[in-house]
Amino acid sequence: MDRRHFLTGAAAGSFALTQYRETLASLLDNQTKRVGLIGTGWYGKCDLFRLMQVAPVEVVSLCDVDSKMLSEASDLVTQKQKGKSPKTYSDYRKMLAEKDLDIVLVATPDHWHALPTIEALKAGADVYVQKPISVDIAEGEAMLAAARKYNRVVQVGTQRRSTPHLMEAKRDIVDAGLLGKISHAEVYCYYHMRARENPPDEMPPAHLDYEMWTGPAPMRPYNNLCHPRRWRAFKEYGNGIVGDMCIHMLDTVRWQLGLGWPTRVSSLGGIYMDKNSKANIPDTQTATFEFPELNVVWNHRTWGDAPDPEYPWGATLYGEKGTLKMSVQKFDFIPRDRRQKAIHRDVVMELDKFPEDRTEKDLEQHVAPAIRVHMLDFLKSIQERSKPVADIEQGHISTAACILANMSLELGRSLAWDSSAGKVIGDDEANKMLRRTYRAPWVHPEAATV
């Protein structure tokens, strides 16, 4: 790569990010928003602290079933608010019953996304909910119905749509037609991220209300793999690596190309390599999402090497005129005509502008700018009462597509999807899986009754 071209591109990217962020910020009314966070773990704090960086907010309340985690988050917020402490709760229902919040962030494990989100919408708050929005498709339909019924803004944490260098790729490569017709896409993850341990079950720690943590999910014996952060190893609480990593890159492709629902989803895979772990999610999986004149193919392996070590997690668009590789770290456009200049951009971090990013525990520094832009887009949509870039409907489509992939894997057959009816075509067994059974006393939300 031509170094001068690279440096010019990096500087342009930095300027564009600053200009875009300042443009968004200038559109806000700067009225202080009263904010509550449900789920004060890793990404809950990442989201909340980025929001605090870009807008005047008062963190009114925090909620978590882990009292130790809750106390630590409260101390951090109090410090950032110059001594003003938030109220703390162990039950989100009590927190939302106060009806004193403008914005609620939901950053719980996936099996706890639907009920708090719907309750927050009913309480009159706008919501930022982490991806995937749900564990079953009926939950997602109910969340979408609630957002529309109560006229609330819901931004989903698929922040690739607000990742500055990927926004640039969409504008300057895809929308500019440099790829020509695009008729194939690959999305993939080759991180060794599946839990390998097999520790014995044990009693839950005293600081964790495990009954409430489990909530509507099936009750499993407590195991230290499930809390904190590694609960994705169990299909009872989420949708595995497809629900964690595929949704980001599938959503990126859908956004880049303006795609709606897939018409058919199929998947193969299983636990092929690591059979001794306590984890029950696939370590190897391929899924195909069929769109008109375009297939998006997903692959993950939690073992072995990535085909391209430069892109271990990402999305690749194949066009008649070239190829576009994208990740959270960079993008590369490779033209078929070698006389045409290749284009490379790296992520633009903002450590000088936001020096606290340097020391924040567990922060993904390269993702922080994307979260900030995502929050600004969310705030702008709240002010305008408009749909944000990652509106709940878009989050529902990407989430449901990933759930259909796991359903296909379990059933051993492809699934034709009727998006207007919200049903799998001609497959009663599959349609019964669209709504999982909730553990009593929790009641599954229904779109018709929210």
Alpha carbon 445 to chain centroid, angstroms: 21
Asked if residues 289 and 298 have their Cβ atoms less than 8 Å apart, the reply is yes
How many CA within 13 A on the CB side of residue 124? 7
How many whole angstroms from its chain centre is CA 348? 20
Q: List pLDDT tens digits, range 196-245.
A: 999 999 999 999 999 999 999 999 999 999 998 899 999 999 999 999 99
pLDDT at residue 21, as a whole number: 72
pLDDT at 254: 98
Phi, psi (deg, nearest 5) at residue 417:
-110, 130
**129 φ/ψ angles, rounded to the nearest 5 degrees:** -120, 140
The answer to whether 433 and 407 are in contact (CB under 8 A) is: yes
Secondary structure of the chain in the HEC alphabet? CCHHHHHHHHHHHHHHHHHHHHHHHHCCCCCCEEEEEECCCHHHHHHHHHHHHHCCEEEEEEECCEHHHHHHHHHHHHHHCCCCCCEEECCHHHHHHCCCCCEEEECCCHHHCHHHHHHHHHCCCEEEECCCCCCCHHHHHHHHHHHHHCCCCEEECCHHHHCHHHHHHHHHHHCCCCCCCEEEEEEEECCCCCCCCCCCCCCCCCCECHHHHHCCCCCCCCCCCCCCCHHHHCCCCCCHHHHHHHHHHHHHHHHHHCCCCCCEEEEEEECCCCCCCCCCCCCEEEEEEEECCEEEEEEEECCCCCCCCCCCEEEEEEECCEEEEECCCEEEEEECCCCCCCEEEECCCCCCCCHHHHCCCCCCCCCHHHHHHHHHHHHHHHHHCCCCCCEHHHHHHHHHHHHHHHHHHHHCCCEEEECCCCEECCCHHHHHCCCCCCCCCCCCCCCCCC
Q: What pLDDT score was predicted for residue 16?
A: 63
What is the pLDDT, as a whole number, of residue 18?
Answer: 72
pLDDT tens digits along 337-360: 989 999 999 999 999 999 999 999
CB 159 within 8 A of CB 371: yes
CA distances from 254 to 251, 283, 287, 396 (A): 5, 25, 15, 12
Would you say 209 and 188 are in contact if contact means Cβ atoms under 8 Å apart? Answer: no
- Reported as a single tens digit per residue, the pLDDT across 57-76 is 999 999 999 999 999 999 99
Torsion of CA 277, 281, 283, 288, to 10 degrees: 170
Delineate the domains of the chain, giving CATH numbers in brackets. 3-159 (3.40.50.720), 161-351+392-432 (3.30.360.10)
Tell me how crowded residue 246 is: count the other CB atoms within 10 A of its CB.
Answer: 29
Q: Write the burial class of residue 299 (CB in 10 Å: 0-12 exposed, 13-18 middle, 19+ buried).
A: middle
The rounded distance, in Å, linking the Cα atoms of 336 and 187 is 21
What is the token pair recorded at 138?
A: 């009926």
Measured distance CA(242)–CA(270) in Å, rounded: 12
Count of other CB atoms within 10 angstroms of residue 310:
11
Residue-level pLDDT at 179: 98
pLDDT of 1: 33
Tokens of 419: 């998006």
> Would you say how long the chain is, in residues?
450
With contact defined as beta carbons under 8 Å apart, do 389 and 377 qualify? yes
The confidence score (pLDDT) of residue 190 equals 98
| pLDDT attached to residue 14 | 59
Predicted local distance difference test score (pLDDT) of residue 7:
36
Residue with tokens 């922080």: 368
What are the residue ranges in the chain where pLDDT is below 70? 1-17
Question: Residue holding tokens 């003003």?
Answer: 84
